[in-house]
Structure 1
């Protein structure tokens, strides 16, 4: 109860951060439509697990180092931008399905990738997102008091990881519904290309 006010601030800040459109949302949306529910849920789990990475370096004090080392942070931004650009280019390569396959698209899902690839995709998308890095650095330097016990800070982190996983899992359940997936699959290659443009734009925004 001693840290209830601090926790409520974290809950509010985290909700607005996770609900705002960004690379995580774009990737989960793409996986839900292209790969189906199970794959999207594993991608969501990867996004949630990456939160624990951010929490780990913040608790260990690396966040303070990053704030004092602009060159290190810039290197992180370039790596993140390159990864998002790579995802965007892959999406732009989407080709129009053959005419003979148009009648089969209603219940068809692109050949599903292994779940470990889906998990890795979600994990790397969030782990390399400088927006997430800045958010957690801000929390641990401005909102969370230096006197807050490490165990409490870890508890905050576990909550944010679980809340992130729950949020994107909910989105996965909605976006992977047959009616929603059918709508996107009928325009699949345009959808993929649109997501590719968004991811490349995000990559450029991250770098500049």
Structure 2
């Protein structure tokens, strides 16, 4: 494990990286705008759970396979891109909800089934993105002290710390977006916000679809 200064640097870097807008942040914000902060927090917890999959997979070698196999990277890349495109198209085709009905819609989403769907959506948004696995493989080892006996355990502990540190960031995004959703101007323009989010999700999907495999993979092909 790193010493205290390196550990604090690891935490600070993690917060900065989690503040960077991407598919995960957009998923949290979109659900908060449409259904309130509670839905956004649940979305963030789904994303956090998905991150745990990448952490433990990297620790046991699956992440390394992703980073060294063109086939494995490509399959997951296209599945993830298709899922992001699906989310984007669904938002683009969603019907406008009158401002007077938004409170009723938010109350409906508080049901167990709807929150479960939001959680599962966040989970798959993260798990199906191979760039998350590659990120953990590239970022976390930089903070493992040379000569560490059990590097796999150190990797898991740092990965878990990074993931837990992301929770308050996601909650912050959810609360901020939930607060915005209560403003009358935002509520009136919610339909256009859905459209904008749909375009962004499609953009993320296309970007992922056209992402090249890591250089190490292409060289070793």
C-alpha distance in 1, partners of 2:19/2:179?
20
Q: Does 1:190 align with 2:217?
A: no
Q: Does 1:29 align with 2:29?
A: yes
Q: Displaced runs of 4+ in structure 1, greater than 4 A?
A: 105-108, 140-143, 178-181
How do 1:148-163 and structure 2 match up within 5 A?
148=148, 149=150, 150-163=152-165
Matched residue, 1:114? 114
C-alpha distance in 2, partners of 1:139/1:145?
13
Gaps in structure 1 of 5+ consecutive residues: none
The alpha-carbon deviation at position 35 of structure 1 amounts to: 1.2
1:58–1:140 Cα contact (<8 Å) kept: no
Matched residue, 1:177? 179
Q: TM-score, normalised by structure 1?
A: 0.86
Deviations along 1:62-107, whole A, 9 cap, x unmatched? 222222201110111101100000000000012234xxx45x2574
1:105–1:185 Cα contact (<8 Å) kept: no
Count of paired positions: 204
Alignment root-mean-square deviation, CA = 2.3
Report the CA distance shift for 1:139/1:187 in structure 2 as closer, same or farther (over 3 A). Answer: same
Gaps in structure 2 of 5+ consecutive residues: 211-221
Matched residue, 2:216? none
